[in-house]
Chain A
Amino acid sequence: MVSPPFRPPQGRPAPAPGLLRRLDAFARLAFPGFSTGFLMVLAAAPVSLPSPVFAATLPCVFFWSVFRPAAMSPPVIFALGLLLDLLTLAPLGAGVLVLLGVHGAALRFRRFLVRQSFLMVWLVFCATALLAAALFWALQALLALRVAPFGPALHAAMLSAGLYPAIALVLARVHEAMRQAETAP
């Protein structure tokens, strides 16, 4: 996975980049991508349930794009999208485009979103999930030249909206811990 070079927080003298510190920073940088990928793989585990891969991916991508866009960079999203396509039997590229779209939208509104309450962010996420599911469905229909029923896409969007609070709760803790680790001397 490609990672942009480490940028120390500004306003303080940069500490000497020791190996441990660098590893630490890299771990923080790589965590969102890897955790999302791992969650997707877990969600794709063959159980007798409708596959929640898409529904589990959207909240992670959205959350990290809004709160930590440096770690959720477009190349990472690209890799995650490719993984999504491969795990969900969607035509190649559909998931990539949808996730990039979500990322772009989240980046666009992140200045507004980070100041809002959790409920507001959730509401915005619900709308985003619906749009993303619709886009995913449309892309699949376009690429496979076959109109699939819209029901499953709607279910995925609703499942995603329902999963968001649980995922965001955990990710918010992690994010907070990371921020503390970064601001600590």
Chain B
Amino acid sequence: MIRLSIPLRQALARLSLPLMIAAAFGVMLLGKADALLAERLRSHLADALSPIYAALAEPMGAVRNAVEEVQALAQLREENAILREENERLRRWQAAALALESENELLRRQLNFLPEAAPAFVTARVVADGGGTYARAVLLATGPQHAIRKGQVALDERGFVGRVTEVGSRSARVLLATDMNSRIPVTLESSRARAIMAGSNGARPRLSHWPEGVMPVEGERIVTSAEAGAFPAGLPVGVVRVSPQGAPEVELFARLDRLDAVRLFDYGLRGILPPESVARPEPRPGRR
């Protein structure tokens, strides 16, 4: 240890604060003069401190998890209340459904109703959007072992997608309900009125040809109609939305913009089949 005389030491102690303030200004100048210096120092410091932080990460994570757990517990309470309420509501619906089912059973017995056979279906993967003659169509990868046939109805997990229009040995093309060429006979579920859902190449097909005296109501459910023998009755299609121009449109249940797999149902209906040969323009050279 260096021995200093007491007055010198006192003078040093008194001087150290101004000296350090001067040094602080010096550091500021240095930092301004060499902008990379601070970055280099910071990276060195981070290198030195990273083991500490790595060691801290585990307990920190535990603490954070505990906090999240507590928050989740707090949320659980109100979620529980909501679920209880929903459960109550669903129970009422279940009771209604059971009552309707038994009533249905009873009425069917009285009518000597022939039950429809459960339709067979295959699920096929969507491999390409668009292409072909139509603006809104998807290509499915199928195998030769599946008996895909024109006129089969394609549904995704939510609702109606379209109809098979072309069948190859390993692929099939489905014309989507949104295509300009698509015309689907539908039923407005609450008024039981028939209408035609015509595609417009947009996201929402338009409704047309509904009978006089009936107006499609916003939010009304649309299902397919068995008219013309092309579709079975009652497949879920969408709900009515009135466009800003006042025209009734259909918001489809199916998510046509992100189809990944569709189910192809064979109802054995041969009412209206797509024409055998579609006038396909020869692809121009230079395009695919």
Which A residues have a C-beta under 8 Å from some C-beta of B? 4-5, 41-42, 44-48, 73-75, 77-78, 81-83, 85-87, 89, 91-94, 96-97, 100, 103-104, 107, 143
Contact = CB atoms under 8 A, between A and B. Distances in A.
Interface string B1-14: 11010000100010
A85 B37 CA distance: 12
A74 B53 contact: no
A89 to B, nearest CB: 7
B21 A97 contact: yes
B28 interface: yes
A91 B31 contact: yes
Contact of A96 (B2, B16, B24, B38): B24
B42 A47 contact: no
A41 B16 contact: no
A73 B16 contact: yes
Q: Interface centre among B2, B20, B41, by most A CB within 10 Å? A: B20
B56 A96 contact: no
Nearest to B63: A47
B117 interface: no
Nearest to A44: B49
Nearest to B37: A92
Contacts, number: 78
19 contacts: A4-B13, A47-B60, A48-B64, A73-B13, A74-B19, A74-B20, A78-B24, A85-B38, A91-B32, A92-B27, A92-B38, A93-B25, A93-B26, A93-B29, A93-B31, A96-B20, A97-B21, A100-B21, A143-B32
B39 to A, nearest CB: 10
B20 A78 contact: yes
Contacts of A44: 49
Contacts of B45: 83, 86-87
B16 A143 contact: no
A44 B49 CA distance: 10
Given A81-B24, A92-B31, A93-B31, A5 B1 contact: yes
Interface residues of B, number: 31
B25 A107 contact: no
Contacts of B21: 97, 100, 104
Given A92-B37, A97-B28, A78 B60 contact: no
B106 interface: no
A75 B53 contact: no
A85 B9 CA distance: 30
B42 to A, nearest CB: 5
B38 A100 contact: no
B64 A41 contact: no
Contacts of B4: 5
B23 interface: yes
B33 to A, nearest CB: 10
B279 interface: no
A93 B53 contact: no
Contact of A86 (B1, B24, B42): B42
Nearest to B1: A5
Contacts of A78: 20, 23-24
B17 interface: yes
B52 interface: yes
B30 interface: yes
Nearest to A99: B24
A91 B28 contact: yes
A97 B31 CA distance: 13
A75 B16 contact: yes
